[in-house]
Chains A and B, each alone.
Chain A
Amino acid sequence: MRWLLTARVRRGLIGAAVLFLLLEAATRAEIVSPTYLPPASTVLLTTGGILTDPAFLADVGGTLTAWAIGLTIATAIAVPIGLILGSSWRSYLASTTAIEFLRPIPSVALIPLAILILGRGLDMRVSLIVYASIWPILFNTIYGIREVDPLAKETARIFGYGRVAILRLVSLRWASPFIYTGIRISAAIALILAISTELIAGGGSGIGIWMLRNSETGVPRELLYAGIVVAGLLGLVINVVMEVGERRLFSWHPRVRGNG
Chain B
Amino acid sequence: MSAVGGASRQRVAARVGSQVGGLLLRVSVLAGLIVAWQVVTVAVDDRVFWPTPITIGARFWEVWVTNPDAWVSSLLPSVLRLLVGWFAATAVGVGVGTIVGLSPRARDYFDPIIQFLRSIPPPALLPLFIVLLGIGSEMKEAMILFGVVWPILLNTADGVSSVDPLQRDTGRAYRISRVDQLVRIILPSAAPKIFAGLRVSLSIAVILMVISELYAATDGIGFFLVQAQRTFRSLDVWATIVLLGILGYALNVVLGLVEGYILSWHRGAMRTRE
Contacts and interface: CB of A to CB of B under 8 A. Distances in A.
Interface in A224-255: 224-225, 227-228, 231-236, 238-239
A116 B113 CA distance: 39
A112 B228 contact: yes
Interface stretch (A68-76, A92-100, A140-148, A153-161): A92-100
B16 to A, nearest CB: 18
7 contacts: A11-B105, A15-B109, A16-B113, A109-B210, A117-B234, A228-B127, A232-B116
Given A101-B249, A109-B241, A225 B128 contact: yes
A108 B128 contact: no
Contact of A101 (B124, B128, B234, B245): B245
A28 interface: no
A12 B108 contact: yes
A27 interface: no
B207 interface: yes
A208 interface: yes
Contacts of A236: 115-116, 119
A195 interface: yes
B159 to A, nearest CB: 19
Per CB-CB distance, the 8 closest pairs between chain A and chain B, nearest first, are A104-B248, A235-B119, A112-B229, A11-B108, A232-B120, A15-B109, A98-B30, A231-B124
Contacts of B131: 36-37, 215, 221, 224
Contacts, number: 165
Contacts of A212: 127
B196 interface: no
A61 to B, nearest CB: 17
B49 interface: yes
A207 B108 CA distance: 31
Given A112-B237, A113-B237, 4 more contacts: A12-B108, A116-B234, A224-B128, A228-B127
B112 A108 contact: no
A199 B208 CA distance: 13
Interface in A84-126: 90, 93-98, 100-102, 104-113, 115-117
Contacts of B110: 15
Given A98-B33, A106-B248, A112 B25 contact: no
A106 B210 contact: yes
A130 interface: no
Contacts of B76: none
A192 B127 contact: no
Given A106-B206, A231-B121, A200 B29 contact: no
A66 B32 CA distance: 32
A21 interface: no
What's the interface size class on B, roughly? 35 or more
A97 B119 CA distance: 33
Please indicate which of the listed interface residues B22, B108, B116, B132 has the most CB atoms of chain A within 10 Å of its own CB.
Answer: B108
A97 B27 CA distance: 6
B234 A199 contact: no
Contacts of A101: 30, 245, 249
Contacts of B113: 15-16, 19
A104 B124 contact: no
B123 A109 contact: no
Contact of A109 (B26, B121, B124, B225): B225
A195 B252 contact: no
A141 to B, nearest CB: 17
Please indicate which of the listed interface residues A90, A227, A234, A235 has the most CB atoms of chain B within 10 Å of its own CB.
Answer: A235
B213 to A, nearest CB: 10
A113 B241 contact: yes
A7 interface: yes
Contacts of A32: 132
A186 interface: no
Interface in A28-45: 32, 36-37
Contacts of A90: 25
Given A106-B206, A112-B228, A235 B249 contact: no
B226 to A, nearest CB: 6
A106 B207 contact: yes
A109 B128 contact: no
A97 to B, nearest CB: 5
Nearest to B50: A117
A211 B127 contact: yes
A98 B132 CA distance: 41
A227 B124 CA distance: 8
Nearest to B24: A94
B49 A211 contact: no
A211 B168 CA distance: 49
B122 A232 contact: no
A57 interface: no
A199 B241 contact: no
